[in-house]
Chains A and B, each alone.
Chain A
Amino acid sequence: MVRHIVLVVLLSFSSLASAAIDTYQFKDDATRERFHALSTELRCPKCQNQNIADSNSPIAKDLRDELYRMLEDGADDEQVIDFMVTRYGEFVLYRPRMSEQTYLLWYGPAALLLIGVIVVLLVSGKRKKSEPGKPDSNLSDAEKQRLDQLLKQDKNK
């Protein structure tokens, strides 16, 4: 059983290993790490559901080369992102920057959650209010008597 689990875990990582393979020689491990981080965060403009690390399209290869060149030249992350955005637009960022256009994207889920919480609180609050004093009936005295009668009838059966 354990062996199976190990196998499944290993297989689930195999896609990472088989993603586009280039032979880049990095000056140090930190640069390699940054290359991997940035290339998985930049979106391929041609094949829009892939990042440039995964995509085999020529443009993704060009962008990887450019990314590699920039990092080797000592560019910081900000410069790399700016370089890509000035050419391909905000579109290439898988993690869009905060702007008027993306407020909905960033705050939308939180707002929906908040609405949900408020609705739940309102609904449950109402229910609590109506619980303590037995069923709050709007029945008139005559109707109450009739109700008691009916209940008694049930009991006598």
Chain B
Amino acid sequence: MRRLIVILPLVLFVALGLFLWNGIGKDTETIPSPLINKPVPEFSLSALLDEQQTITAADLKGRPALLNVWATWCPTCKQEHAQLNRMVRDEGITIYGVNYKDDRDKARIWLDKYMNPYALNIYDPEGKLGLNLGVYGAPETFLLDAQGIIRYKHVGAIDERVWSELRQKMKQLEVN
């Protein structure tokens, strides 16, 4: 018993050490989304390129797709844009855009200049949809299945490495 008490501090110290060591280098910026496995929240917003066209959550169903939250004021969005273009051009991926808290004219010019990878672009100037999606920093990308259910969320730019991960998840959805 006595011996047990003597080594108790050591045991506690080692346990605490392992616990803290385990946390080193972990990504603390990304917070898990509570929307995983939930449908895209209901919305009714105009299309970026056509003010008359109304887009709702039902328009995002049909096939697995990416829902990419972007804005012209977001430097990282510019950084990932070429990657999105490549994915659409080379692999025929469907990407829907949410133009988040942006200016319609600026966004149009931007798409003209850097090409438009988006099958549809939802214009969300007040960030209402963004808020319902739990967006806290553009760019954010949601992986949707054919029923419009959110299956995965990536915060930050999509690069080749992130895409290879997403591609696998997307292929799995297509099989199901």
Contact = CB atoms under 8 A, between A and B. Distances in A.
Interface of A: 45-46, 48, 58-59, 62-63, 66, 85-91, 119, 122-123, 126
A121 to B, nearest CB: 11
A91 B34 CA distance: 10
Interface residues of B, number: 19
A126 B2 CA distance: 10
Nearest to A90: B34
Interface stretch (B45-53, B90-98, B127-135, B163-171): B127-135
Contact of B34 (A58, A63, A89, A123): A89
Given A46-B136, A48-B28, A59-B137, A88 B127 contact: no
B34 to A, nearest CB: 4
B28 A87 contact: no
A48 to B, nearest CB: 7
Contact of A123 (B5, B29, B127): B5
A45 B31 contact: yes
A129 B35 CA distance: 60
A89 B127 CA distance: 18
